[in-house]
Structure 1
Amino acid sequence: MTKRERVEKTMDFQETDRTPIYDLLRCDAAFEYFSGEKLPTLSKDPETGEKLLKIVGKAINKLLDMTRSVGFGPVVEEDIEDEFGFVHHISPIEKTSWIKKRPFNDEKGAIEFLGKWIKNIKEDTEQISRNSSEYRRKYHNYFLKIQSEIGETVNLLAQHGVGLDDIRVRLGFEIFSFVYADEPGIVSEFLEEYTKRNIAICHAIADIKLSPCVLTYGDIACKNRLLHSPEFLRKEFFPRLKKLNQAWHEHGFKCLFHSDGYLMDIMDELIETGIDGLNPIETVAGMSIKEIREKYGNKIFLAGGIDMSQLLAFGNPQQVKEECRKAIKDAGPGYFIGSTTEIDNSTKLENIIALYQVIHNAKL
């Protein structure tokens, strides 16, 4: 059975030869172990970048059946200022970036920035729609380059949200809350234009031959509770997520929805938006694979559920194996095993190997 066959059958709750593994790989030790190669000294030169991509690709091809965001991540610790004046700190250890300084520090400045950002997004949408064939060509060329490095592993074609994560990060949660309280219209306009742009991208790049699935997302919850009120989500989030899912469904894609946190209070409404799958099923936040499967049956396939914040980071291989076997039993068909977000540098290599051994019943 090919990886794509295994992935598609799992999404359709059909029998497979084994449980597929879905994850985002961002762990240096795992890159080396599963590729069989040592990472080079990190630098920004193109040759190093190509070497890193090949090592990452080999590791992903060995470990995963399905993935997203293929790459090594940042290679140097540095601060970068973007076109809007935000200073981002980039970290190769954390494999991420965060905002170090904003070009505003109050609500008025944030609203002025939002006006510029909305204008920028509208221009992007116009350009994508006007030159969709060229956008498609460039996107597909890059996607196929990545695919050539990861072999048979299925790569999600796109990762699309409605802009909620982005606006919260850019403004900061406190200023975002004040802006929405005083000027809700500009937040709604931003979310609408952001969604329109992603729908335009969807129609430009969709090709089911490249991949059967995309990620639609929005981190709307935290441990044991929602980040936003149900009323806010019903007005600003769910309708736009539904439009996004519908756009991808028009082209035959499955939509795997990603949100950290406890989602059970609004799970019915999430399913009504047309999501086909759920990730990452954050167990330490109160989510339960067994509860979701018992309540929703085959309405959604599941991906994740193996805790990365405590179990994979601080547990031992035997504990990991026990949890993996339990997750597979609780989920039944329609389950991709994987971490509760990503396998990063906080994860013990021995625990990643333990997960792999459970799935392949193999000794490495």
Structure 2
Amino acid sequence: MSNSDFLKALNNEFTSRVPRTEYSAHVHWELIKAVTGINTDIIEQRENASREFVKKWRYGFFWNTLVNRKHLEEHGRTTRMGHAEYAEKPDGATDYDSITTNPFSDPEKALELDPVKEYGCFEESVLISSFRQKYEEMEKKFPQAHNMTGIYITMVSGLLEIYGWDTFLTLIAYDDKKLGKIIYGYYEWISQFYSALAKTDIPVIMSHDDICWTSGPFTHPDWYRKYIFPCIKKLWRPLKDAGKKIIFTSDGNWTEFFSDIIDCGADMAVMEPCSDMALFAEKYGKKTGFTGNADCRILLSGTKDDIKNEVKRCMNIGKKYPGFIMAVGNHIPPNTPVDNALFYNEMYEKMCIR
């Protein structure tokens, strides 16, 4: 039912319940234990416990991509910015990473980069097979939810994996035109993955690109409209021509660019609480789906009244639109108090009925 409700929402058809999804909750082991009764302290039981959790919380879709920094690292150089400890992996390992490296600290040398030459071409048949294999793996892991695959490093996110924030922002100011040529070169490189996706039979594609900070755009909006959005629109064209549905995700406050992403062809948008979901709903909600945007900080430290009011806020915005999907943005992290997460779910269940 949750799967079919999501597809109806994606196609702008009303359902009796507001569908939902969540991010990272499927690795919140204490929460999963509380919801499923499965002992997640036993590593071998975690995969099944995650599956049961997603089923019990009735995910409409499961957020997933395939193409990430590893595809850059396979042939070329990337910057490592380190990673704070966020979650314990299913195998019990930590995701903490203290290593930082930057092979592009010299601006002049950084501007010599040829992305196609540096990061190489992949055989299309191999890419198609990889996408299909990942999709089938997700179908087996979470059969109750609608699954997808996609690309994490679309434009800005990919350039950040290459340069890191310091060098990337420096290059924007140092030589915008030379950087522009590299951006177009990156577009040429990443387009091979979008072209391959268009030739798969996977119906829903996730296109991720962290285009903004929490405070909004990190440079003048004109820069995005000159270099980034024309590339995204061209990347999505083969997907649209093939009849795929595209879900776009960005962290941060990208309210400034709602119209640009709609113009690129997004069928649904995933947003954090810092983006203005009410504005998106008012302007585009009749034709375009949207997912969000309860504030995870309220689940972390708010009262039950705070949590109830946050779910109510989201429902008041989205419930009257057919393409609304409820979710906490940008994640339900593992340090979220279990009681708060359970109460959030209780409020969702009470308020999701149309």
> TM (normalized to structure 1)?
0.79
Percent identity, aligned pairs only?
17
Q: Secondary structure at the match of 1:172?
A: helix
The 10-residue stretch of structure 1 (294-303 or 97-106) with the greater mean CA deviation from structure 2: 97-106
In the alignment of these two chains, the number of paired residues is: 333
The residue number in structure 1 matching 2:106 is 106
Q: Answer yes or no: is the 8 Å Cα contact 2:28–2:334 preserved in 1.
A: yes
The residue number in structure 2 matching 1:342 is 331
Encode CA deviations 1:6-44: one digit per residue, 9 max, x unaligned: 1111122212121111222242323333443223466xx
The residue number in structure 2 matching 1:5 is 4
Q: Answer yes or no: is the 8 Å Cα contact 1:221–1:259 preserved in 2.
A: yes
Q: Does 1:295 align with 2:262?
A: no
Kindly tell me: are residues 209 and 227 of structure 1, through their superposed partners in 2, closer, same or farther at Cα, counting changes over 3 Å?
A: same
Kindly tell me: are residues 52 and 153 of structure 1, through their superposed partners in 2, closer, same or farther at Cα, counting changes over 3 Å?
A: same
Q: Secondary structure at the match of 1:275?
A: coil
Encode CA deviations 1:154-208: one digit per residue, 9 max, x unaligned: 1222134433123224423232122233344553344334434443223324478
Q: Answer yes or no: is the 8 Å Cα contact 2:191–2:235 preserved in 1.
A: yes
Q: Please list, as runs of the form range in 1=range in 2, the aligned pairs for 1:112-261 lying within 5 A after superposition.
A: 114-115=113-114, 118-121=116-119, 123-124=120-121, 127-128=122-123, 132-185=124-177, 187-206=179-198, 210=202, 212-261=203-252
The residue number in structure 2 matching 1:77 is none
What's the RMSD between the two structures over aligned residues?
Answer: 3.2
Structure 1 counterpart of 2:332, one-letter code: I
Q: Which of 307, 314, 317 does residue 320 from structure 1 map onto? A: 307
Q: Does 1:273 align with 2:264?
A: yes
Structure 1 counterpart of 2:267, one-letter code: D
Kindly tell me: are residues 223 and 57 of structure 1, through their superposed partners in 2, closer, same or farther at Cα, counting changes over 3 Å?
A: same
Q: Distance in 2 between matches of 1:40 and 1:304?
A: 30
Q: Secondary structure at the match of 1:119?
A: helix
Q: Answer yes or no: is the 8 Å Cα contact 1:22–1:336 preserved in 2.
A: yes
Q: Secondary structure at the match of 2:149?
A: coil
Structure 2 counterpart of 1:4, one-letter code: N
Q: Answer yes or no: is the 8 Å Cα contact 1:317–1:350 preserved in 2.
A: no
Q: Distance in 2 between matches of 1:169 and 1:5?
A: 36
Q: Secondary structure at the match of 1:239?
A: helix
Q: Please list, as runs of the form range in 1=range in 2, the aligned pairs for 1:75-86 lying within 5 A after superposition.
A: 84=77
Q: Distance in 2 between matches of 1:293 and 1:23?
A: 20
The residue number in structure 1 matching 2:64 is 69
Q: Secondary structure at the match of 2:210?
A: coil
Q: Secondary structure at the match of 2:99?
A: strand
Kindly tell me: are residues 259 and 138 of structure 1, through their superposed partners in 2, closer, same or farther at Cα, counting changes over 3 Å?
A: closer
Encode CA deviations 1:264-303: one digit per residue, 9 max, x unaligned: 33322222111222212x33x3x33323222334132110
Structure 1 counterpart of 2:234, one-letter code: K
Kindly tell me: are residues 97 and 250 of structure 1, through their superposed partners in 2, closer, same or farther at Cα, counting changes over 3 Å?
A: farther
Structure 2 counterpart of 1:53, one-letter code: E
Q: Distance in 2 between matches of 1:110 and 1:99?
A: 24
Kindly tell me: are residues 70 and 180 of structure 1, through their superposed partners in 2, closer, same or farther at Cα, counting changes over 3 Å?
A: closer
The residue number in structure 1 matching 2:28 is 27
Kindly tell me: are residues 12 and 195 of structure 1, through their superposed partners in 2, closer, same or farther at Cα, counting changes over 3 Å?
A: same
Q: Distance in 1 between matches of 2:230 and 2:79?
A: 30
Encode CA deviations 1:69-104: one digit per residue, 9 max, x unaligned: 399xxxxxxxx9x97485575666446566732144
Structure 2 stretches lacking a partner, 5+ long = 67-72, 89-94
Q: Answer yes or no: is the 8 Å Cα contact 1:208–1:253 preserved in 2.
A: no
Q: Secondary structure at the match of 2:127?
A: helix
Q: Answer yes or no: is the 8 Å Cα contact 2:21–2:62 preserved in 1.
A: yes
Structure 2 counterpart of 1:259, one-letter code: S
Q: Distance in 2 between matches of 1:164 and 1:13?
A: 29
Structure 1 stretches lacking a partner, 5+ long = 43-47, 72-79
